[in-house]
Structure 1
Amino acid sequence: MADHFLEIEIPQQRNYNSIPFPSVLSPNPKTRTISQLTETIKTQKPFLDTLLHDTGAVLFRGFDVKTAEDFNNVVEAFGYEEFLYVGGRAPRTNVVGRVYTANESPPDQKIGFHHELAQAPESPFKLFFFCEVAPTSGGETPIVLSHIVYERMIQKYPEFVEKLEKHGLIYSLFYGEDDDLSSPTGRSWKSTFSTEDKSVAEERKSDVSNRAAKLGIKLEWMEEGGAKRITGPLQTIRYDKSRQRKIWFANMVNWEVAGNGPVKMITFGDGTPLPADICYECLKILEEECVAIPWQEGDFLLIDNQAVLHSRRPTNSPRRVLASLCK
């Protein structure tokens, strides 16, 4: 690896069974430019895939990645198939190629821990994040290993986890008529399903309902406007075959939405309410186990979406983080 990347240590890293989380790679003189980096990614793909499998996340720091175009070139160099962001709640727009804004809600808004699209029947396997503008304080993207959360939860709340594994979760979410950029989950039904046609949704299976059905989603139109989306039951305790361990695959962001408690947002798959006290204890575990590395401009982070949950800490300074999703 010395001929290609340098593996470094930073203070925020954790170690699990002597394996750093996340792994952090920096350039040597042969991988400083963007063209050198993309060529090295292509030739060292087996090494990078193995490193991601072993650690769950890889932070690339110090490379000459300055623009969205540079980041798009990096993503394409990895050769992963693109995963289209359909059915998600975050307001985001395309920047260039396979690169999108990560979440367009104000940076002072916190986003809770989640696997990308955990509330959808299909979710991406890999995520890229790129820091184009680094905040002067706060604004980190904390990450946490899913199997560590599972292990701590089943040790502390075995009956709860067993019921979760048996029944899964049903997610009930609300879509407004228009995008609400003040909310991290403020994407409207029009943006989510790329259509404005709801007049014949129920009677004639409009484009909206067809798209929703393909995603395993039921839509209920609200009298006051907007739509209620019901998804599930979805499997929440999953088995990671490649690593031979169980993982926690619940979307924790919905338990932190202000003014809309967990009983309203999510239920067990059998329709019974979730115990709010246990849900919030899980949030504490996530915070205790997470790694929050301050962004530096040019950083890009590769995450295994099966193995790792991510979130966003608030900041009052300018922040621009871009994203790309992969199958």
Structure 2
Amino acid sequence: MKWTPTEIRPEDVAARADVEGLADHLRTIDLDALLVQAKVLVFRGFHVPEDGLDGVLDLVLPDRLAYVHGNTPRTKVGKNVYTSTEYPPEFTISMHNEMSYAHHWPARLAFYCAKPATAGGATPVVDGTAWLAALDDDLRDRFADGVCYTQNLHGGMGFGKSWQDTFETSDQAQVEEFLAASDSTWEWLSDGTLRVRQLRRSFTRHPVTGEEVWFNQADQWHVAALDPQTSAAMSEILTEDEMPQSVTFADGGPIPAEYVTQIRDRGLDTAVDVDWQQGDLMLVENVLAGHGRRPFEGPRRILVAMSD
């Protein structure tokens, strides 16, 4: 039977259908154990208002993390609360585990629907073990030794993100301290760009369940993941090593475009869509489950926070 997220409504747990009812319910359960078992929890029908979100997040994410060294555009809107990735609505965001390219990634994510899209805009979620099993043996074998990510973070003007936005500081020493602790290598280029390289795993095992999951973002960092028009335009003016972000196998060998397509498409095909209603809250176990975004129309507003 195909895995699906666990949905919890007020009537399922004899709770009031409001934010206070959700808070009371959260105080009575072992959320850590439940989330590991379910992988994704969707709290629906509690009608959480945006001005009541902080109190709920304090219960589900007691130590919220800043989005430091994140690789996607988003806006900070509260106490370590951010907008979801700000990519044009016509694009699909492929499946991924948040910051799986980093030395340290969040263990838990919370997504909150402040305003659903007029059409589309589901958040697909995928069981990481099922995603791994969906990939061909030759692909898994080639990824066994890991991958190498490269970021080119400009100093204030250029393609992609600046290093100041990425690390939420303009202090180079503070950035270097962070990178030294994250098992990364880096260099400052003459134009002010910060180039960062990271050797990372392709798979990982969950510390509690022991499940092995697909755990990298090679398909999102690869030039083949860009839409054809953007890819062609950037390739005319930048070498692959100059791209805002790129990826190779750990040994430096190129990752074939057909591998990138397989990873992306089978992740999306294996996923289950979570369609949003205003006031919904979704928790994702960030090792056991990946997430993405379907295209949408209208002023969709999904907020995100994360914790260890």
1:243-262 equivalences under 5 Å are 243-251=209-217, 252-255=219-222, 256-258=225-227, 259=231
Of 278, 285, 303, which aligns to 2:284? 303
Query: Would you say 1:220 and 2:182 are equivalent positions?
Result: no
Of 22, 30, 53, which aligns to 1:71? 53
Moved more, 129-138 or 171-180: 171-180
Amino acid at match of 1:218: T
Residue 177 (structure 1) aligns with: 155
Amino acid at match of 1:131: C
Residue 198 (structure 2) aligns with: 231
Residue 122 (structure 2) aligns with: 140
Maintained 8 Å contact 1:72/1:98: no
Of 168, 174, 189, which aligns to 2:146? 168
**Sequence identity percentage:** 27
Query: Would you say 1:87 and 2:54 are equivalent positions?
Result: no
Q: CA deviation at 1:268?
A: 1.3
**Unpaired stretches in structure 2, ≥5 consecutive residues:** none
How many residue pairs end up in the alignment? 290
Q: CA deviation at 1:128?
A: 0.3
Alignment RMSD (CA, Å): 2.4
Alignment CA distance shift 1:313-1:220 (3 Å): farther
Measured in 2, the distance between the counterparts of 1:174 and 1:113 equals 23
Residue 4 (structure 2) aligns with: 21
Of 189, 196, 204, which aligns to 2:170? 196
Alignment CA distance shift 1:138-1:222 (3 Å): farther
Deviations 1:68-98 (A, max 9, x none): x322211212354323321111233332234
Alignment CA distance shift 1:190-1:23 (3 Å): same
Amino acid at match of 2:210: Q
**Unpaired stretches in structure 1, ≥5 consecutive residues:** 1-14, 199-205
Residue 282 (structure 1) aligns with: 263
Q: Secondary structure at the match of 1:43?
A: coil
Measured in 2, the distance between the counterparts of 1:279 and 1:147 equals 18
Amino acid at match of 1:57: V
Alignment CA distance shift 1:292-1:90 (3 Å): same
Query: Would you say 1:42 and 2:27 are equivalent positions?
Result: yes
Query: Would you say 1:312 and 2:293 are equivalent positions?
Result: yes
